[in-house]
Structures are given as structure tokens and as C-alpha cells.
Structure 1
């Protein structure tokens, strides 16, 4: 077996990045809703029969995540983009606000509908409205007979941008030739629901950077940056979690191994740290048959990393531009492969012309990163990394002094094993990202605590007859609690688990792969707002089971 076949987990996903780099629901997980043409699963007590192997058609992509909830009452819909992507030419157009639903909305829901047929890789895409990145997405890989899919996202937080006429740019970079025939057709709409949003939930301003600099309104009292960080592009940073130290004999190397951390700086000072989500695109782990129906968590709706920069508001509110820079720890010097576009959300003190303040605490612990290679008949790399940051600052507002303290701690452990020719190739990894934000002003202090855990446990092997098999489990988990003083006001617990086992024959024409595969997803979220519990099972591209547990 050729080592590059497995480890380009490897080359199966060719995602556009270089174009994106110049250029992230956020409170809800998007669910590619079943379209009108999708083949529905049979009732739970009547399992759908599955074929002996994959054919030329399979079920349209679905996930177990909840749909975006929509409020009752009047709504207005606007088409934002409608395009056919066959190369790297962006779609450009003009957005105009809706008529008949006012200029304040209780919710705004973005919906992308797509279809593609033939043969195509997965592709990465973005949608900008007025320069603001409102969606980052990737695409499913099509069947020869064609598939349809859709993605929904709550974009109410971008209401400030959507109140004015804006330029639109959208790109899903693609290559169409005699081999890769799939043209990606998409339509994006926004639906506006009339009514007032929840008090304080929607920022008054949404800003973008100008040549890497940010200028905030002088009366800003809360500032949050969001970064749509994606490692992609077809190279090793697409599989950053598999990289090894430069002295180890493996096809993807980085001096510090696989530890990655997304940092944001204000005027050169570290202002936020975060663990990137280990997104697996729909060609990942050398095996597209794992993803034809059920994508990995977040693959179709890339969520932005959020950084609360309110401790720096007193510095940023001087009316001058300030450098805001994002970097990814662990990426080899001079190597591309990460896209990190930034939006900045600002809440203002409408009773003040200038909100002053200052930084109280800045405590950055040492970044620990150990990645040890153990040679042998089975090569092995063990990685342990962690970092912490505490930042506190105050602002003097029309309603008194408010102090914001942000604490964040990250940790990553992984064990990577591989054999001769990188066969087998296995990884077991866990990432944790713990954050607390305490806002102390008038009344009891309000603290939001979030504990995020991401897991990956997979093995790829090539056996007799060039049969490549991938067994993989992915986990996206989060616990969140909001308290006022000693009283818990809001809580939630998320567990999104994907499992897959797929096998096919490599180095043969597509119609001779004789692929088989079973995948499942169980998405559970419980909390003070209610419950969603849904599971899906597919066999050879047929959706055989759908169950709701709430």
C-alpha cells in the first residue's frame, strides 16, 4: 500500500482556503433539513431495508441536530444569493432589507439550499454581507444521481448589518472537469420575523477589521470578537490533529506536533485563547463513505470561536484604530492552511458619549506543549498541551462601574499510533476548553461558565484486497451555566456523538469499490430551555432509523 493513500486522510477532501484567507449559533447548531425530494426513513418499527453495498444514489444529507426555532407571527423573506459554483469565481450581488417587517426583528434565520450531482470533492465556502461573515460552510459529496441538502442558522446577531443595503459576496471554490463533474447549485435566503429581540441579546453594532485594525464606538460597554477558524486547504493543516514532531517518520509534520490554539491579540497583547474544533470534512479520514448521509459535527455550519474582549473596552474606546490579530499556535512557520476571518460585536451605552475604563488584570500562564515520539514497529506520538489566561477590566458606564473578568483554560491530550507505511493509522484525542465570564456591577454578579470537550477516536487500515476500513467516533460536548450570585438562572448540556464504520476497495474505478458502511449520530441537548434528543442510523447510504427521545 502507498502511505500517501491513507495519510492524506488525507487527500480525499480538497477544500478551498487560499482564496478565503484574504477575505465563525452561533447559539444554535444548524440542521440540514430534509428536503422535499429526500427519501424518508420508515417508521421505527419498520426498518428500511438496506442494499448489500453502496449504489449510485443515497439518502440526502441529514443531521440529528435541532432545527432553528421560529417565532410565530409575520415574517418576510429575502433572497441573498443564488449561484452555480464551478470554479473560484465569487458570486457578487446586492442585499436589500425586507419590506413589511420593520427594522427590528425577533429572529433572523438564514437558509442555504443546495444540490449537486456527479462526482465532486467536498468544498469550503463562505457568505459575506457588507463584509461581515455570516456563514462558513462545507459541502457534502454527491452521488452520481444527485443529492439535495439544506442548512439553517440563526443570524439575528447580525441585525445591525442587515438593516442597510449591502454588498454580498459568496464563494464555494470548486473545480469542474472531465473527472470532477459536480456543479454546486445553491440558493441562500434570509427570513425576518417581526418583533423586538430579547433585551440585550443583539449587539447594536457589527464591525469588521480594516487592514487588521479595529475602531470601536467610544461608548462601547461590551465587545465580543468571533473568529471563524478553519484548518483546511488539502494540506496537512486540514488534518492538524494528526501532525507529528519533525523528527518522527510520518507524512505530516510540525515542529511542535498536533497542539493548536487560536489566539487573539489587542495591540500585541494576548487577549484571548481557544481550542479549535477538530472539524472533519466530508472526505475526511480517507473515507467519503462515512459522510455521504450524516456529516461530522459542525461540518455544514462552522461555528465561530467567541472571545469576550470587554476587559479591553477602556483601551479600545479612545476613538483610535487598534490592531486586532489572530494567530494559530503550532502551525509551522511560513505554512498556510488556516483561515481566521473576524467579526466584532459591540453593545453600546446609549446614555454615554464616551465610556472610559481600564485593564485591571492580565495573567497569562506559560503554554505547555509536549509531543514525544516513541519509535518501534508501531510508531507512537503522545501529546500533552495546556494553557490558561485571566483578563479583567472595568468600564465606567451611565449605570455605574462594571468589571468583567474572563478566565479560560485549554488542554489537549492525544495518542497517535501508526505502522509501516502508515498502515494502520490511529488517533485518540481529547480537547477541553473551559471558560468563565463574570460581570460585576449593580446587583449580584453574573457568571457564565462553559466547559467544552471535543473527542476523536479513529483507526484507518488497509487490508487484503486493498480494502480500506475506517472506524471513527467523534464527540462535541458542552456544559453551560449562567448564575446570578449563588442562584443558577440558565443551564444546558450538549452531547453530539457521531460514529462510523466504512470499508471500500481503493485503487479501482468508482463502480468497483464495493463500499459498505454504517454511520450514526445521537444529538442530545437538555437544559432550562427544554430538551432535544434525536438519533439517526444509516446503512449503505440508506437512512434506516430515526428516533426522538424527548
Structure 2
């Protein structure tokens, strides 16, 4: 299979889970879509994809919005046709105060013609508040929208800043799609939300936190991208295996954050599949893979290191991706640091009391044959604990994180059959023990990928793929559960097209679906979408 040619080229709700997992794409509107529990059915499905299809849509819930007064600010409005970033300025809104109950970002985009999927970011005052990728357009054009709750960045929004946005793109005689976007912020007046007091980003790799910081959380927008093999890191193989994407140690990846060179946090990266992924853009034209339009940051609780960070000096904050061959690019991992301060203290002292790093297990076993096979197992553990002496007493934070990954990669000579079955687990517990009963938040994240691409003798390429994004969150106090949530976002697709022919001769067919379920003590959300040959054939809402 000509993977290096066919695969895409990237340039560059009040429930607890909604809060922890961040943003949700806005829902496309369509006159045929019903909001009842009954499915929407269509009868005019074409025999194959044409020159136009339904606008991209996801099953994720929209961002909930408070009632009452609101103010809008246009943050960016640009057409991206190259790698020149949009540069502008942000001014805080007038008429909604400077403490908001919610701040919602909305990006509206449109593109037509021929174009690859592209990766983009949006910075305000150097803080990355949004990362996204784009859908691939139809010749007749598509429109889509993404919404994100960005209330956590309220500290940044309270003063004027420079704005930079980039969706790197190439427009020429072949790739004609100009990406046209507008980004707005809506500020809702009312009772102020509880947000970090400061939002910081490293300067020259270092950060200086306020000396009265009592809680510190880092977030990393980690993406393997750039059009090279790290875009498909989960398919890479060791040097001895005959495959087009190589990585010395195989496909295990782990995103680490370090404070002054000391390991401070570990996480499993989400296996993003962009809208040209798995050699088959027809899988993604209507229903994208989970998180494709809304890249969620990895969060690390660095509070155990507050006693070190609060000394008034700059400290190095670094991100490493385990498994990337030395000197190879392909990962982007910008860092924000969110800080909560002790309003009644000018100085919060503390100490790191526990720092236990488990052995990193990372093994890949290659078995040659008519069907090559690579079995990979990886695992890692980290426990850190520390205390801070605040105006309300000593508070101890203990963070435990355990990662595991198993995968089986099978392929034939020429990669005409290429299959992967993989699971990533990321288990985390954060216990805060201070005044009152100890509070423990346990989060179990599971990501799954099960797919096969087959290229037949007639150049018909078929991809069958299932992706899963799941999370279970439980909060306990003194051993009693006080909050919980469950998320299950599952995508399935089956698409076939003829490669190495002009666009109008591809004779592509495809069925894709997504079911997004979110449960918690305050209720549930359950929505299913199905598209066939680019037509939305079902929109079912449950609960």
C-alpha cells in the first residue's frame, strides 16, 4: 500500500466529565435533523459519494450556556492559504464586568475545493486556548463549527493581549481549499465561576509562579503531527521490521512533564485520527473521529511541587515524548500552567515528600512471515506527594498515575493489508488532605483503536475502523462517593474507494457512525449519528 502518498498530510453538560474533558464541538444544524428520541431516516442516499455531502457534525453535546446578559468579542477572522499566522489584538468586553460565570469560544469555518486536513492553534497573550484540526472539503464546499468552554482562562481575558492564530495551509493549482474562519468569545455576566487566579506559559522554557501558590496544574496540548510518521505513531515499528514508518523502540508513546529535570507527571497521549487518517478520507467527511476538531489538553497536577516552585525563582518546565526517535520532529506540546493562590498569604511554603518512579516497561516483539506481526506492551507508574502550609492549614496532595498500552500490528508485504488493535489505559488518582475529610478524585481513561485497511488487486482500498474514547471519574470524601461520571464516545466506519484515479472516478462508498454517551448524578446525554455516502441518515437522541 502506498501509505506515504495516500495518507493525509497535516500541516502543522454540567456533568463532571464535561468539566474534566473540556470542550465540545458545536452541532451542525440541518432542516431534516430531529431532536426527538426517534431516528431521522433518509431514503435518497446516492449509490456513491458525489461532489457534495452533509456538513461535518459530531454527536458530542454542545457547551451549556447560562441565561442572562452576555457580551461578544471577535477574537480572530482570517483566511488561511499558507503558513503566515493571523495576528491581531484582544480587548476585554464592555458591559459584562471582569468576572464571568462562563466564557465560550466558538469557531465557524468554511472551505471548498480540494484540501488536506490541517492542524491549527489559537493563542491569546501567548496562552494556547484552542487547538483544532480541519475537515476535508467537498468540491461544492462545507461549513462547520466548534465550541469550547474557555472559562478557565478568565485571568488572561481580563486584560488586552496580542492574538495569534494559525491553520497552516497550502493553496496552489492542485490544493485549492482556502480555510475561512471566524472565532468569537461570548462572556456571560453573573456569579463568577471558580477559575485559576493566574494562567502562565513558560518563557524560554522556564516559569516563575506566584510565591503564594497553593494549587498548580499544568496542561499540555500534545499532538503528533506534521505529516510524518509521528502523525501515525501508533503504527510505527522497530528498525528490523519491514514497514514504511519506523521508530527505534516501536509504537509506545508517553507524554512526560518535568520540573527542573525531575519527572513530575506522565500521561498516555490520545491517539488522534485526523480527517484523512487511515488512508481513507471518506471515513471522516461527515462524522470526524473523537477529538479531531477539539484537541483536549493533558492535565498534570503539579501541586506536590509547589514548595519548590514557590521560591520566587524561575524553574524549567519541559515536556518529553517517550518513544520518539532522537532528533526527530513531529510532536507539538505547548504548556500552560494554571495557578490558584492563597489570598490570605503572601508566601506559601511546602515540600515534596514522595517521588517514586516505577520502571518503564516498553517491549515490542516482531514476528516475520507472510503476515508480519508486532506485539507491543508498555507500562509506567509514578507517585508524587507534597504539602503546602497555607493560611488555612497544611494541605497534602498525593498524585498517583499508572499507564499501560497493548497493541497488535499486522501487515503483509507491500502493506496491502494493514491492521492494528490497540488499547491505552491511563489511571490517575489525586488525593487532597487538609482541613476536613480527604478528597480523592479517581479517573480511569481508556482509548481504543481496532482497524484494518485492505488494498485489493483492483486498487479498491477498504478501511474498517472502530475508535473509543472512554473515561470514568469518581470523587470520594472520607470513603464516601460524592460525585461521579461516565463517558463513552465510540466511532465506527467502513469506507471503500478506488485509489490512483482522478477524483471523479473514485466510486467511493462509506458508512460512518458515532455514539456519544455521558452519564452522571445530574442526568445523562446520549446521541447517535449515522451517515451513508455523505448523507446523514440517522440522528437519534436517547436518555
Normalised to the residue count of structure 2, the TM-score between the two structures is 0.97
Which of 24, 31, 49 is the aligned partner of 1:30? 24
- The aligned runs of 1:251-330 (5 Å cut-off) are 251-330=244-323
SS of match in other structure, 1:49:
coil
The residue aligned with 1:142 is 137
The residue aligned with 1:20 is none
Contact 2:40 2:540 in 1 (8 A): no
Is 1:461 the counterpart of 2:454? The answer is yes
Give the Å deviation of 1:39: 5.8
> Which deviations, in whole Å up to 9, do the C-alpha atoms of 1:238-286 show, x marking residues without a partner?
0000001111111111111000000000001000000000000000000
Distance in 2 between residues matched to 1:96 and 1:480, nearest whole Å: 37
Any unmatched runs of 5+ in structure 2? 13-18
Distance in 2 between residues matched to 1:104 and 1:385, nearest whole Å: 45
Which of 183, 188, 212 is the aligned partner of 1:193? 188
Distance in 1 between residues matched to 2:309 and 2:25, nearest whole Å: 37
Is 1:171 the counterpart of 2:166? The answer is yes
Any unmatched runs of 5+ in structure 1? 18-24
Give the Å deviation of 1:72: 0.8
> Which deviations, in whole Å up to 9, do the C-alpha atoms of 1:447-474 show, x marking residues without a partner?
0000000000000001132100000000
Which of 116, 120, 135 is the aligned partner of 2:111? 116
The residue aligned with 1:364 is 357
Give the Å deviation of 1:48: 4.1
Contact 1:41 1:544 in 2 (8 A): no
Give the Å deviation of 1:488: 1.1
Give the Å deviation of 1:45: 5.9
> Which deviations, in whole Å up to 9, do the C-alpha atoms of 1:377-409 show, x marking residues without a partner?
110000000000000000000000000000000
Distance in 2 between residues matched to 1:363 and 1:236, nearest whole Å: 33
Give the Å deviation of 1:16: 2.1
Distance in 2 between residues matched to 1:477 and 1:175, nearest whole Å: 35
- The aligned runs of 1:51-130 (5 Å cut-off) are 51-130=46-125
The residue aligned with 2:527 is 534
Distance in 2 between residues matched to 1:448 and 1:117, nearest whole Å: 45
SS of match in other structure, 1:158:
helix
> Which deviations, in whole Å up to 9, do the C-alpha atoms of 1:325-362 show, x marking residues without a partner?
00000000110000000000000001000000000000
The residue aligned with 2:408 is 415
C-alpha RMSD over aligned residues: 1.1
The residue aligned with 2:16 is none
SS of match in other structure, 1:343:
strand
> Which deviations, in whole Å up to 9, do the C-alpha atoms of 1:9-42 show, x marking residues without a partner?
x75321123xxxxxxx56434123214xx56347
The residue aligned with 2:15 is none
SS of match in other structure, 2:504:
helix
Contact 2:26 2:63 in 1 (8 A): no
Which of 497, 504, 507 is the aligned partner of 1:511? 504
Distance in 1 between residues matched to 2:161 and 2:387, nearest whole Å: 35
Distance in 1 between residues matched to 2:230 and 2:439, nearest whole Å: 38
Q: How many residues align?
A: 534
Distance in 2 between residues matched to 1:480 and 1:371, nearest whole Å: 31
Which of 456, 462, 472 is the aligned partner of 2:465? 472
Distance in 2 between residues matched to 1:48 and 1:546, nearest whole Å: 14
Is 1:220 the counterpart of 2:209? The answer is no
Distance in 1 between residues matched to 2:369 and 2:429, nearest whole Å: 43
Normalised to the residue count of structure 1, the TM-score between the two structures is 0.96
Distance in 2 between residues matched to 1:45 and 1:265, nearest whole Å: 50
